[in-house]
Chains A and B, each alone.
Chain A
C-alpha cells in the first residue's frame, strides 16, 4: 500500500456549481472544517481519481530516515479537563463552569485549547469559578490540621498552613513548589487572615482560589527538563510528562502514584512509563479519556444540538437520550481497550455493545446489560461503533436517514479523507412519500457535476440505509424495500463493493487506510495539536507500529506515550 505523507491533502473530487445532493441538514455542515472546505480552490480538473499533491518539505512517509516534530503549543485545560481536575483535586463534583463553554476550541474534531489566548472575560470568569469552588470545598481532607475549629491564634496554624501550601500546591500546580512560590501563597493566607471578618478557614479558601487561577493549574505548562538542542527539542520534565499522560488517559490531573513516579524520575524509563499507562488504564478514570476520544472522533458531541423529529419509539428527544448515546460509544471504546482485545477490528465489527437501558428500545431489546457488561446484538444487523444507534442518529436528518452525513463522517474520521465544500446554490432532494431516501439521492447525485464527490460519499453512506433517523433497523421505507448495497472508495481504496453495514464494517476493519487513519487520530488526540508536515515521519512510525501490532489500540497507546512526540517539548525556530 502506498502511504501518504501528512502533507498530502486529499482531493478526491471536485465540486461543480449548480448541483448538490446533500440532505436537508447537511451541506455546509456544523463543524468548521468538516464539510466546508474550499469550494473554489483545489483540483481544477474534474477527474475523480485520488492524487497526492507534493506540498510541504517532509519526505514521503515511506522514505523516512529520522523523526522531525513541529513545535509544541501551550495548551489550556478544556472545560471537561478543568471540571475533572477540580473534582479529583477538591472532591467538588458540580463545578459551576458554564461560562467556560464558549472558551473551548477544537483541533480537528478534538477539544483542545491551543490557539486563542485568554482575555479579560475568560480570566475573570475563571476567578469567579475559583472563588465559588474554593468556598464549597471540604477542607477536612485537604488541610493537615483542623483549620475550621482551631482558635484563630493557635500556634500550630503557621506550620499547618505552610505544609498545606506545599502539599496541596504540588497537586494543584502539578509540580513541586519552590520556596519562593510557597512564600507567595502563604502571603495570600496572611493578607486574608488579617482582614476583619476573615478566619483561618476562609484564608485557606482564598489560597485554594488563588491556586485555581495559577497558570500552572490552568495550562499544561511545559518548560522542558534541559536547554533545547539544535532542533529546539528538550525532554519534558517528569511532572510535565506525568500531566501529559494523565490528561491523555484521564482528562484530569495525575494521582498520587503517578506524582510519586515522577518525583522518583521513573517516567524517563519506557518500561516504567508503560507500567504507569497500564495502571492508569485499569483505573476507572480511564473511561473519561478513552470515552472522550470516541465521542469527539465520531463527532457525537453534535448530539448537544442535533434535532430529531418525533419517532414511534422516541416521542421526545431529550438530554437523557443524548447522553446515553454518547455514553454507549464512550463506554464501548473504554471496554474494548481495557477489558476486551483492544483491536480496532473489534471496535468496528463486534456484535455486542454496552447498551444503556435508555437505548434498549431502539435496538429492539428488552433485557438490560449486566452492570458493566455487554449486550449481545443481532450479528446480521449490528457490527461495532458505526452501527450503534448514537452514531447513526447523530449523522442523520431529523426525520430521515442521511447517506451524505454518514458517508462524509466515515470519509473524514475513518479514512482521513477530506472533501471540498459543496457548491453554493443547492437544493437537496425533497422528501417523497413514494420513494426511498436512496432513490431520491441516487437520482439527484447522478448529475455528472455532482457525481465526482457523491461517488465516494454515497457509496459509503448508502450502506447505512437499513437504519432510520434513529438508527433503528428497517427493511422497508415508504413501503419500498431498502437497498443497502454500496461501494467503499477512498484514498488508496479502489472500489470495494459490499452488501450492507456489517460487510462495510468488515471492509473498514480490514483496511490499512482506516488503520493508519485511526493511528493518526489517536496521535492528534494525545498531543492536542495539529499534526503538520514536519510530523509525517513520527506519525508514519506510529502507524507502522500499529500495523505491526495488528491494530491493537492498547499497544498504540503505549507506542504513542513512549514516542518522541509525546516525550518532547519542541520550541519553534527563532
Chain B
C-alpha cells in the first residue's frame, strides 16, 4: 500500500468519512471508499498521462477530413470506437523549448513539465564544469500530473499512481513525471510489485493486517527517529534526501493506519517484466491495475510510461523487422517505403492498440449515466514529433475520454501552437484553473488553456 508523494496526508478525511457513514472510531480499518461516495455525487475527474517513445510517422497518423467528420488512418485506427464523442486528435502542436541536450533527451522531461533542461552537472559524464552545456542540470518544474495530484491531495489514499515498462535507470531523459524540479517520480515496473503495494494489504484478513500494522509501525518509528537525528547533521544540500525519505515514511504510515477496501483484481502468473517479449502482457497488467485503482478511487491521477525517450532498446520481436536491431536504431534508418518503416508502423500501431485497451478498461466500468472513461482524460504524448527528423513540431498528441468535461469527438488542426497551452488545458480540466501559464517559455505562447479544448 503506498501513496506516491502524499504530502498533505492529514487532509484525507477518514474521520469525516466515518461521521458521514454514522460509524464510530471502532470501525474496521478498511473503509469502503466507493460506498462512501454517494450515488448522487458527481463522478470525480481523473487524469492518465500516457507516454510512448520516438514520435510517429505523420503520413500514417494524420487524420483526413474535417473537425467533426474525419477518417482515422492506420496508426490511429484502433481508437475508432471512441472517435464519435470521446476522442480528440491534435495536429499542429509544437513542443516548445530548447534546453541543453539532444532532442530525445530534452523532449522527454519537457513533455509534461513544459520546462527546459538547465545546463549543469547533475546528470552527465564527469569532467565537464557545472556550466557546461554538455551537462544536464535537470529541469525546473514538476510535471502537471504532480501539480494536479498535489491539488487533490487528501481526496484519495494515493495522490498518484505511476506505472512503466522498460523505463531504464533514474535520469531526466528516462522519466515522464517529476515530483519536483530534477526529481523523477518513482514508478512501478513489475505489475506484481504494484499489485503487492496497492492491493496486498487489502487482501489480508483483519487479524493478520493488525499484526502486520503493529510490526511495521514499530519499525518505522525507529527509522523515523534515526532520520530525524540525521536531518540537521547532514549538509544542508543533502537535507532534502532525508526529508523526502521522512515524507515517504509518513505516506506509508498514513496509508497503513487508514487502510482501504478495494476489490482486489486478479494477477497472472509471474513473468519476466523486463523482457522484450513481455511488453504486451506487462502493459495489459498495468492497465488492469490502473483501472482497478481508479475504480476503487485509490487515486485520480496516473501515468503510464512505455520505454523511454533516450533510447528505446526493445526489439518488439513479434513485429517483422528488416534486420536485428531495436526500435530507436530503426528510427534513424527508415526511409519512406522501406521495410524499416513498415516495422516502425507496426510498433506505433501497437501503441495505439494499447491505448485503446486502456480506454476499453475504463469504458467497461459504469459510472453515472455513462462510464468511467467519460470522466477520465487520457492524454497520449511522445518526446519528438518524428524519430528521424527529431522535430519538435507536429507533435502527435491524442486525448481519449473525458467527454463529460472535454469538447470531444474532434480532429483539431492547430497552427504550430506550443504544447504549453495543452498543459494549461489539462491543468484547468483537472481543477487547477488559476494557472494561466505553465512551464518555461522564451517566446510568447499566449496564455490559458488550449482554445476549444474544454467544454
A154 at the interface (CB under 8 A from B): no
A398 at the interface (CB under 8 A from B): yes
A376 at the interface (CB under 8 A from B): no
Looking at the complex, which one of A41, A76, A119 makes contact with B133 (CB distance below 8 Å)? A41
Known contacts A38-B134, A121-B2, A124-B197; A309 and B323 CB within 8 A of each other? yes
B311-336 toward A: CB 8 Å interface, digit per residue (1/0)? 10101000000011110110011010
Interface centre among B1, B311, B326 (most CB of A within 10 A): B311
Q: Is the CB of B125 within 8 A of A33?
A: yes
Q: Is the CB of B236 within 8 A of A574?
A: yes
In the assembled complex, the Cα of A6 lies from the Cα of B2 at a distance in Å of: 43
A28 at the interface (CB under 8 A from B): yes
B11 at the interface (CB under 8 A from A): no
- Chain A residues contacting B132 (CB-CB under 8 Å) are 9, 55
Known contacts A28-B105, A120-B5; A418 and B170 CB within 8 A of each other? no
- Chain A residues contacting B242 (CB-CB under 8 Å) are 74, 215
- Chain A residues contacting B37 (CB-CB under 8 Å) are none
A185 at the interface (CB under 8 A from B): yes
A186-214 toward B: CB 8 Å interface, digit per residue (1/0)? 01100110011110000000100110011
In the assembled complex, the Cα of A112 lies from the Cα of B31 at a distance in Å of: 42
Q: Is the CB of A6 within 8 A of B218?
A: no
Known contacts A39-B102, A427-B335; A105 and B171 CB within 8 A of each other? yes
A102 at the interface (CB under 8 A from B): yes
Give the residue name and chain of the A residue nearest to B233 (CB). A223
Interface centre among B131, B136, B234, B249 (most CB of A within 10 A): B234
- Chain B residues contacting A197 (CB-CB under 8 Å) are 211
A365 at the interface (CB under 8 A from B): no
Looking at the complex, which one of B3, B189, B244 makes contact with A117 (CB distance below 8 Å)? B244
Q: Is the CB of B333 within 8 A of A24?
A: yes
Q: Is the CB of A213 within 8 A of B223?
A: yes
In the assembled complex, the Cα of A221 lies from the Cα of B164 at a distance in Å of: 31
- Chain A residues contacting B249 (CB-CB under 8 Å) are 123
In the assembled complex, the Cα of A411 lies from the Cα of B365 at a distance in Å of: 56
B368 at the interface (CB under 8 A from A): no
Q: Is the CB of A184 within 8 A of B222?
A: yes
Q: Is the CB of B101 within 8 A of A37?
A: yes
> Smallest CB–CB gap between B377 and chain A, Å?
24
In the assembled complex, the Cα of A397 lies from the Cα of B333 at a distance in Å of: 13
In the assembled complex, the Cα of A199 lies from the Cα of B197 at a distance in Å of: 26
- Chain B residues contacting A571 (CB-CB under 8 Å) are 235-236
Sorting the interface of chain A by its residue count into under 10, 10 to 19, 20 to 34 or 35 or more gives 35 or more
Q: Is the CB of B211 within 8 A of A398?
A: no
Q: Is the CB of A191 within 8 A of B215?
A: yes
In the assembled complex, the Cα of A312 lies from the Cα of B152 at a distance in Å of: 59
Give the residue name and chain of the B residue nearest to A72 (CB). B235
Quick one: which of B71-120 are within 8 Å of A by CB? 98, 100-105, 119
Give the residue name and chain of the B residue nearest to A535 (CB). B126
In the assembled complex, the Cα of A112 lies from the Cα of B135 at a distance in Å of: 17
A368 at the interface (CB under 8 A from B): no
Known contacts A32-B124, A42-B133; A25 and B179 CB within 8 A of each other? no
- Chain A residues contacting B134 (CB-CB under 8 Å) are 9, 33, 37-38, 42, 418, 420
- Chain B residues contacting A102 (CB-CB under 8 Å) are 164, 167-170, 186-187, 189
Give the residue name and chain of the A residue nearest to B126 (CB). A108
Known contacts A399-B324, A428-B333; A188 and B129 CB within 8 A of each other? no
Q: Is the CB of A123 within 8 A of B245?
A: yes
Q: Is the CB of B332 within 8 A of A531?
A: no
Q: Is the CB of B190 within 8 A of A25?
A: no
> Smallest CB–CB gap between A166 and chain B, Å?
15
Quick one: which of B129-162 are within 8 Å of A by CB? 129-136, 138, 162
In the assembled complex, the Cα of A397 lies from the Cα of B233 at a distance in Å of: 49
A424 at the interface (CB under 8 A from B): yes
Give the residue name and chain of the A residue nearest to B249 (CB). A123
Give the residue name and chain of the B residue nearest to A205 (CB). B215
A99 at the interface (CB under 8 A from B): yes
Q: Is the CB of B193 within 8 A of A32?
A: no
Looking at the complex, which one of B102, B182, B185 makes contact with A36 (CB distance below 8 Å)? B102
Known contacts A119-B244, A215-B242; A530 and B101 CB within 8 A of each other? no
In the assembled complex, the Cα of A72 lies from the Cα of B241 at a distance in Å of: 13
Looking at the complex, which one of B126, B186, B211 makes contact with A198 (CB distance below 8 Å)? B211
A109 at the interface (CB under 8 A from B): yes
Quick one: which of A319-358 are within 8 Å of B by CB? none
A524 at the interface (CB under 8 A from B): yes
Looking at the complex, which one of B104, B136, B245 makes contact with A28 (CB distance below 8 Å)? B104
A440 at the interface (CB under 8 A from B): no
Q: Is the CB of B335 within 8 A of A120?
A: no
In the assembled complex, the Cα of A119 lies from the Cα of B246 at a distance in Å of: 9
In the assembled complex, the Cα of A542 lies from the Cα of B390 at a distance in Å of: 42
A460 at the interface (CB under 8 A from B): no
Give the residue name and chain of the A residue nearest to B164 (CB). A102
In the assembled complex, the Cα of A571 lies from the Cα of B236 at a distance in Å of: 8
Quick one: which of A409-423 are within 8 Å of B by CB? 412, 416, 418, 420-422
In the assembled complex, the Cα of A38 lies from the Cα of B333 at a distance in Å of: 22
In the assembled complex, the Cα of A415 lies from the Cα of B455 at a distance in Å of: 59
- Chain A residues contacting B60 (CB-CB under 8 Å) are none
Q: Is the CB of A37 within 8 A of B133?
A: yes
Given contacts A125-B193, A571-B235, 4 further A-B contacts (CB under 8 A): A36-B101, A101-B274, A106-B123, A398-B325
Between A and B, 23 residue pairs with Cβ closer than 8 Å are A9-B129, A35-B102, A36-B102, A98-B193, A101-B169, A108-B124, A108-B126, A119-B248, A120-B252, A121-B4, A121-B186, A124-B2, A124-B252, A127-B219, A191-B214, A195-B211, A206-B218, A214-B226, A215-B245, A397-B329, A399-B324, A420-B134, A530-B121
Question: 6 tightest CB-CB pairs across the interface, nearest first?
Answer: A36-B102, A117-B244, A38-B133, A121-B186, A41-B133, A309-B324
